[in-house]
Structure 1
Amino acid sequence: MNDSNSALSTCNIGDINALPAGVLYVNHEGIIQYLNTTLQNWLDGIDCIGLPFADILSGAGRIFNLTHIQPSLQHSAQVEEMFVQLKSSAGSLVSLVLNAKRFANMDVYVFTPMGKRQHFEAEIINARKKAEQSAFATNEAYNTLQELQQALEESNRELEALASTDALTGIANRRHFQNAFKQQISIFERTQNPLALLMLDVDHFKSINDSAGHDVGDQTLQRLAELVSSCIRQGDIFARTGGEEFAIIMANTDLDTATNVAERIRTLITTSKFPHQMVTISCGIAVAKPADTPQSLYMRADKALYVAKNNGRNRTEVAE
């Protein structure tokens, strides 16, 4: 590893190894240069220096890396609180929360465990064992177990909702989108019923943040989510997939219908009132083909969105 690298020069390796978080250095070619002791221990002593970062990701994680993590690093030089799964040396999956920052010659990834739920479940399991050992000697012990079980169920429901919902807009988040998208592709493969993916992006969103501040930017995204939700069916899956990027999965929807929906949304956004200024969006549409995978369909819709941006914005383009 190059000693001159700015990402490494900011912290002594001994200090990094003492952190209660996993740290990974990956060069811009995607090759792992260093991992600290904490992350290595979480991954059962894995030896991955010199390997591609994708090699320690789960199958879904590899797609997520291509479609979200790397684009975020390229466009905004950082990634915030993304759920990923890494493969240990034994092949098991370790669930972690990822934050990352791009430096001049290196990407620095910081991983923290999804400990809240695991800690809570450990307490419940321990309480259950104690109750079983006492053979429910008293009604008080039995009632305590029932209360704890109910608390676990409620906690699981809350955690599942948090894990699937975008905190700012209240719509689905990236994680829910990924899972739902894979399910819809599987359904399409079995039935060949039409499936459309609509991606949309707020035009010149950075200028809104720069001129009016991030609070107004957040209000703009919240307002947009409300307007789009009013234009789609109850069964459509509407998700925020990036900072100002959104996607809609539309089952049983052909190209003409998807195009009409996109144009209806685009027109509504253009003619609606927003906190700071008029807002426009660009849209890209792709419909599933027999050979499509989640990654290929996503890439075709994303490419159509890119064409809409390049052709002047505030328009809808359809993938080939």
Structure 2
Amino acid sequence: MDVRLREAPCGFISFDHNGYIIEVNNTFLEWMGFKQENLVGKHIESLLTMANKLIFHSYFYPNINLHGHVEELFINFTSQTGESVPYLMNARRFEQDDIEVIDCILVQMKKRIDYELELRTTKKQMEEAYLEKNRALAKLEQIYIEIEKKQIELMEINSGLVQISNTDKLTGIPNRRFFQEKLEEQIVIYRKEEKPFSLLIIDIDHFKKVNDTYGHQIGDIVLVKLANILKNQVRSDDIVARFGGEEFTIILPNTDVDEAILIAQKLNRAIELAEWTETGNLTVSVGIDTFTEDDTEASIVKKADQALYVSKENGRNRATHFIDL
């Protein structure tokens, strides 16, 4: 690695197509508290939490494989001490000596927080100077306006980054990353307050046939329309998200087994009776599970997915709860 790149004022990490780290610069090592031997040869996902692994699989890998690059991805890496450190990452894929590698440049989001503090300090200094020197009033007012403008721009940038990172680009509803975070929150609430909650996994029946028959553009229209139906059918506290492909998830807070089944069956009917001018008709299959004290984040998803498989096997256009398997 070039000396200038090794000491560059940004993080650099390079890994092969299988995800194993080839190179990492000193800047990133210092930020994260690692040494070269801690990371080189290790898988990139060893630095990621479960939620951020999902981002890599649902967004990073598809885009790097399709477009050859990823721009301004909001991602968190786990440091040597276990701290979650936020970054903006740009990545590009290229071949080196017939080996495909992915190079990533990382900029710490912590700088934005420092920038906000700097703005506040500057504003305070400006106000003190305003009281001391009336003759500088006009100039100080201009500085104040510029600082306010920068603060607004900064808040808009931060808000936009969070929204982009949590939103599915096609349907406009929350994405898998957001679902994962909300699922973790529900589990914490359950452990503290023992409030029941349920999970639905919804899959469009014969969606491949829709794409093959009408084309992917119509398939996208169907996904957007289904997302809108789900949003309109659920309660205000329910959390609808796109899980990936033609699968959607709904987290149902304060919902036991019987109520979850009724909600899922209601969705089956609403979707079947909706006007599908693009395809003539459309149905979905639903898998349901209700969280118990023995469950984990992974187990409730797995059991809802198994219930979904049973709905598919038993003729589709139906809802099955894992408890009935």
TM-score (norm 2): 0.72
Aligned-pair identity in percent equals 30
Question: In 2, are the aligned partners of 1:78 and 1:99 still within 8 Å (CA)?
Answer: no
Secondary structure of 2:148 counterpart:
helix
Which amino acid is 2:271 matched to? I
Is residue 89 of structure 2 the alignment partner of residue 87 of structure 1? no
Q: 2-side partners of 1:301 and 1:114: how far apart? A: 38
Q: 2:178 matched to which residue of 1?
A: 176
Superposed CA deviations along residues 87-138 of structure 1, whole A, max 9, x for unmatched, are: 245654343559899xxxx9976656478x7776676555555555554444
Q: 1:49 matched to which residue of 2?
A: 40
Q: Give how far 1:232 is off.
A: 0.9
Question: In 2, are the aligned partners of 1:56 and 1:88 still within 8 Å (CA)?
Answer: yes
Which amino acid is 2:78 matched to? K
Superposed CA deviations along residues 31-56 of structure 1, whole A, max 9, x for unmatched, are: x2534659966756653234354432
Superposed CA deviations along residues 229-288 of structure 1, whole A, max 9, x for unmatched, are: 222101101111212211111111111111111111122212222253122212110100
Check 1:281–1:100 CA distance in 2 against 1; reply closer, same or farther (3 A cut): farther
Superposed counterparts of 1:1-320, under 5 Å: 22-25=13-16, 27=18, 32=20, 34-35=22-23, 37=25, 46-47=35-36, 48-57=39-48, 61-62=49-50, 65=53, 84-89=75-80, 91-96=82-87, 111=104, 113=106, 127-132=119-124, 135-137=128-130, 138=137, 139-140=140-141, 141-277=143-279, 278-320=281-323
Which amino acid is 2:290 matched to? V
Q: 2:96 matched to which residue of 1?
A: none
Q: 1-side partners of 2:275 and 2:264: how far apart? A: 19
Check 1:193–1:133 CA distance in 2 against 1; reply closer, same or farther (3 A cut): closer
Secondary structure of 1:230 counterpart:
helix
Q: 2-side partners of 1:243 and 1:159: how far apart? A: 23
Paired positions, count: 294
- In structure 1, list runs of 5 or more residues that go unmatched: 1-12
Q: 2-side partners of 1:108 and 1:312: how far apart? A: 45
Check 1:314–1:21 CA distance in 2 against 1; reply closer, same or farther (3 A cut): farther
Q: 1-side partners of 2:144 and 2:56: how far apart? A: 47
Which amino acid is 1:188 matched to? Y
Secondary structure of 1:269 counterpart:
helix
TM-score (norm 1): 0.73
Question: In 2, are the aligned partners of 1:270 and 1:280 still within 8 Å (CA)?
Answer: yes
Q: 1-side partners of 2:300 and 2:211: how far apart? A: 31
Question: In 1, are the aligned partners of 2:204 and 2:246 still within 8 Å (CA)?
Answer: yes
Check 1:270–1:126 CA distance in 2 against 1; reply closer, same or farther (3 A cut): same
Q: Give how far 1:310 is off.
A: 3.9
